[in-house]
Structure formats: C-alpha cells, structure tokens
Amino acid sequence: MNEPVRVGVVGLGTVGSGVVRLLVDSADHITRHAGRKIVVERAVCRDVEKDRGLPLAADRISSDIHDISRDPSISVAVLLVGGLEPARSMMIDLLEHGKDVVTANKALLAEHGPELFELARRKGRSIAFEPAVAGGIPIVAAISECLAANRIESIRGILNGTSNFILSTMEEDAADYAETLARAQAEGYAEADPAMDVDGTDATQKLAILAHLAFGVWVPWGDIPRTGIEEIDLDLIRFAGELGYRIRLIAVARRADDRLAMRVAPALVKIGTPLAETHGAYNAVSIIGDAVGRMFFHGLGAGQMPTASAVVADIIDTVVGRTAITFRTTGVLDADSPAARIGPADIEERSFLRFRVADKPGVLAQITGILGEHGISIASVIQHDAADAAESGVPLVIMTHACQSQAVQRAVAAIDAAGVTRGKSTCLSVLDDWTPAK
Ligand code: HSE
C-alpha cells in the first residue's frame, strides 16, 4: 500500500465538519478509490474551543493557517472558508507553500479565479472546485471531462438551493415570501444573511464558473444581468400556476452568434418539465451538447453531506492525479481566456406580465393598446372578479406570444409611465423551449 496522503482542512463549519466525518467514517471505501489512505492531519478554524464532536484529536485543531501551509507532511489542503478575505490570502499561502487545494468557495473563484489559477499553474499545483457549483451534483466534472467532446450550446439551471426552497415552499404551503424566508432560516436552509442567495448573486457566480468551463471564456460575474426573487409574491406564483407554470430562479447561458446570452432571473417553467419539478433545496442543471443532446442533472445543491461528497471526490481526484491532468490540459480558468461578450439582451420569448390596475372602464384597452403599439401579441389574459378592489389595484395578468424581450420591457415601462398601473409592474420570461436538441 502507498504511503497515506495527509490532508489539512481549513474551516470547520458545516461543510468542513462533514468532510472530516466522511473521511473518517468512509475511510475503507475512500482508500479503495484513492489507492491509499487519506488522513486528516490537521484542521484550522476560528473557534478552536468549540466542541464539534469530530473524530479529530484536540491537538490536531488550531487557528493558524500556517499550521497547514508550513507542514511539509500535508500535500492537499481543503479550503472551506467563505467570502473573499481572508479566503483569498489563505489560498495564496497554501499554493505558495506547495499544497494542492480543494475549495467550495465560488465567490472567491468567480472574483479571483484567473489570478489564483495562474498562481497554481506557476507553482505546479492544482485547484479543484466541484463543491463550489451545485453542491453534490458533479457538474464541473461533467462539463470539463465527461462532456469534453461536445460543443456546449446552452446551460440552464437552478443553482441556488435556498431560493428554490423559498419559491417551491411558497407554492406548496401557500405562504408569503417573508414567512417562507424566516422558515428557511429557522430550518437551516438559508444563511443568517441570505442576501446573496435571494438576490441572485450566488447563482450568478456559479453560472460564471460553469460558463467558463463550457464556453472557454472568462465571464466577470458582475456583468451578467441578474434579478433576485425578493419581489416574487404568492399572487404571481398562483397566476403562473393557473397558466400551467411554476416560477423558479433560472440561470441561463447560451451561445448566440459570437456572444453568450446570459442572465439569472426568476422565470416561468412549464409544470411537468424537469426544472419545474425541482423542489426544495435541490439544484438542477440542463445542458445541451452538440453530440450528446440534452442532459439533465438533479441533486442537492447545498447542505453538509452533499457538499462534503463533492469535496471528498475532489480530494480523491487530487490524490490519484486526475485533477492535475484536467488542470494542466483544459486550461481551466486560464488567465489568458478571452473575455466573454455578453448579450444580446434581446431574446425572442414569451413574457408573463402582472399589472395592478384600477378596475374601471378603458384600463384593459389602454394596456393592450400600448402592447400592440410595441408589436406585442397577447396569448392570454387573466383578471379575476374582485369583490372589493384593494387600494393597491386588482391584478391583471397577460401572457404574450413570443416576441423580442426588449420590446416587452419598453412596453411595460410605457404602461407604468401612462399612469394606469399602481406600483411597479412585473415582467418574467417564460422558458418554453423544452424540445430535444437538434
Ligand atoms: N447558499 C447556497 C445555496 C449553497 O443555497 O444553494 C452554497 O453554494
């Protein structure tokens, strides 16, 4: 048997603790896959005194990253610290000291990927990051290895478990947004500060990483148009349901001539199609490759053991040398990657519009008139008889036929400016094209 490989774990939060447990509890099985024992030599964390009940002796836990980076017996470091700093400095320290790194930190890669990957290459080391995107789903390996023969045409996914939990629970329990967010936090699905989950940042950073792997271009995540789920209310979910759809936060990247059409936004997906049937904290990714056709991946995108599963798989890949080969040969997150040209913002698709209007003569005619002036054709209209029209107006819902998305945006702005609506109107894309790839 080969010498054991010694691993250092940086960060003993939910995922870090899960990784230590998995490495110990499944040691025999992991040894079989890695061809040698993988031993947790040391962990560093902020709160050394905290009892986590881990199978790791107290003298193996400390608070100084140097205890891992300067320990020559440790060859692989697992960086499970979120945010940009001190995570970036820690990653640099680990690479400078010759460690191969496995990380779940997608914000760090989306923000500083090229710099860190360049450093790893210079040092002859590797960075593995399967757990950074869609938790337990092996989507990084799927795109960069298993589907390598394909020109990827599009990626469409639910990449944030917290927002998917909120949207699907609102529908299933007929609960409002604030109540469901509070429940997500109480049940441990949402962070104490869930801002980056619900405003779409987390999904956008993951999409930027996937787009880089799939399309070979560097995508600054801040350039990707992004809308969160904060303004999705129960009425919108109910109206979408009446039309046969669910609302999901969907990340999209697809080839459009010499550009990538990308965005993260709540959208309508047809009930019965895989993205609409992705419930709770699950993630899902649909990919179209020119040779393989459409593929669909579904699994838990967050949580202790699903994420630990991806971390440990990356540790094994690093130990057996697969990560180094992929890292060297695919030019993954190469600093020289061309920057993505994002756009066109104009996409031909159906739109779902919700206005709040005064229930009086001429209002519907005025709205449909403005839509008509912008060349937008209406597929269906819903307005329910409201016994007591609220001060905020009655909801009027319009589904359009496929048309240029920018024309719809302009029409909705013109309708809001015409003074016939109360409050800001809502415009969501309808993702209908669930057809097999050509
Ligand atoms: N907060 C993320 C989510 C998990 O809710 O999907 C970590 O990426």
Q: What is the pLDDT of residues 352-381, one digit of tens each?
A: 999 999 888 899 999 999 999 999 999 999
pLDDT at site 278: 98
- Reference 412, options 368, 379, 380; nearest CA is 368
Write down the pLDDT at residue 433.
Answer: 67
Q: Are strands 282-289 and 259-270 parallel, antiparallel or unpaired?
A: unpaired
The verdict on residue 219 lying in a domain is yes
Ligand 1 atom at shortest distance from the alpha carbon of 132: 8
Atom of ligand 1 nearest to the CA of 159: 6
Looking at the fold, whether 128 and 11 belong to one and the same domain comes out as yes
φ/ψ of residue 343, rounded to 5: 135, 180
Residues 261, 233 share a domain: yes
Same domain, 269 and 293: yes
The verdict on 111 and 151 lying in the same domain is no
pLDDT digits (tens, 9 = 90+) for 379-413: 999 998 876 666 778 999 999 999 998 999 999 99
Structural domain tally of the chain? Answer: 3
- In the reported structure, the alpha carbon of residue 20 is separated from the centroid of ligand 1 by a whole-number distance in angstroms of 20
Look over the chain and give the mean of its residue pLDDT values, rounded to a whole number.
93
204 CA → ligand 1 middle, Å: 12
Token pair of 83 as six digits: 């945010």
Which atom from ligand 1 is nearest to the alpha carbon of 196? 1
Whether residues 242 and 122 share a domain: the answer is no
When pLDDT is averaged across residues 176-180 and rounded to a whole number, the result is 95
Ligand 1 proximal residues by C-beta, below 6 Å:
160-162, 197, 202, 301-302
Q: What pLDDT, on the 0 to 100 scale, is given for residue 338?
A: 76
Instruction: Evaluate whether residue 253 is within a structural domain.
Output: yes
Cα-only R_g, the chain: 24
Domain that holds residue 132: 5-137+307-330
Confidence of residue 436 (pLDDT cuts 50, 70, 90): very low
Q: Helix axis angle, 177-186 relative to 161-173, nearest 10°? A: 120
pLDDT at 186: 86
Using DSSP's 3-state secondary structure scheme, residue 44 falls into strand
Quote the DSSP letter at residue 86. T
What pLDDT is attached to residue 438? Answer: 39
Q: In terms of domains, do 176 and 265 share one?
A: yes
pTM over 0.85: yes
Amino acid at 352: F
Q: Is residue 338 part of a domain?
A: no
Atom of ligand 1 nearest to the CA of 189: 5
What pLDDT, in 10s, does the model give residues 114-161? 899 999 999 999 999 999 999 999 999 999 999 999 999 999 999 999
pLDDT digits (tens, 9 = 90+) for 318-346: 999 999 988 887 766 676 777 778 876 66
Task: For residue 379, give the H/E element and its range.
Answer: strand 378-382
Please tell me whether residues 11 and 128 are part of one structural domain. Answer: yes
Q: How far is the CA of 425 from the centre of ligand 1 (A)?
A: 29
Contact 273/433 with Cβ under 8 angstroms? no
Section 36-52 average pLDDT: 96
Are both 107 and 154 inside the same structural domain? no
On whether residue 341 sits in a domain, the answer given is: no
155 and 282 in a single domain? The answer is yes
The pLDDT of 186-209, averaged and rounded, is: 89
CATH value at residue 420:
3.30.70.260
Beta bridge partners of 270: 245
Please check whether residue 254 is in contact with residue 391, taking contact to mean a CB–CB distance below 8 angstroms.
no
Q: Which tens digit of pLDDT belongs to each residue from 248-300?
A: 999 999 998 888 999 999 999 999 999 999 999 999 999 999 999 999 999 99
Alpha-carbon gap, residue 294 to 423, rounded angstroms: 40
- Of residues 359 and 75, more confidently modeled: 75
Protein residue with least CA distance to atom 7, ligand 1: 302
- Whichever domain contains 101, its CATH number is 3.40.50.720
188 pLDDT tier (thresholds 50, 70, 90): confident
Helix axes 405-417, 363-373, angle to 10 degrees: 140
Query: Nearest 5°: CA angle at 367, between 366 and 371?
Result: 115
- The answer to whether residue 337 is domain-embedded is no
Indicate whether 22 pLDDT > 80: yes
Question: Considering the domain boundaries, does residue 366 fall inside one?
Answer: yes
Same structural domain, 146 and 293:
yes
The verdict on 200 and 316 lying in the same domain is no
Overall average pLDDT of the 195-199 stretch: 96
Position 312 confidence tier, pLDDT thresholds 50, 70, 90: very high
- Residue 259 lies inside a defined structural domain of this protein: yes
| Residue 102 Cα to ligand 1 middle (Å) | 17
Closest CA to 142 of 201, 133, 217, 251: 133
pLDDT computed for residue 293 by the predictor: 97
Q: Is residue 340 part of a domain?
A: no
Q: Which residues are catalytic?
A: 206
- pLDDT at position 332 is 65
**CA of 127 relative to ligand 1 center, distance in Å:** 20
99 and 150 assigned to the same domain? no
CATH classification at residue 157: 3.30.360.10
Binned at pLDDT 50, 70 and 90, residue 435 comes out as very low
**Residue 176: what residue type?**
D
Q: Measuring from atom 4 of ligand 1, which residue has the nearest CA? A: 302
Contact partners, residue 227, CB within 8 Å, separation at least 6: 200, 263, 264, 265, 266
Share of the chain above pLDDT 70, in %: 95
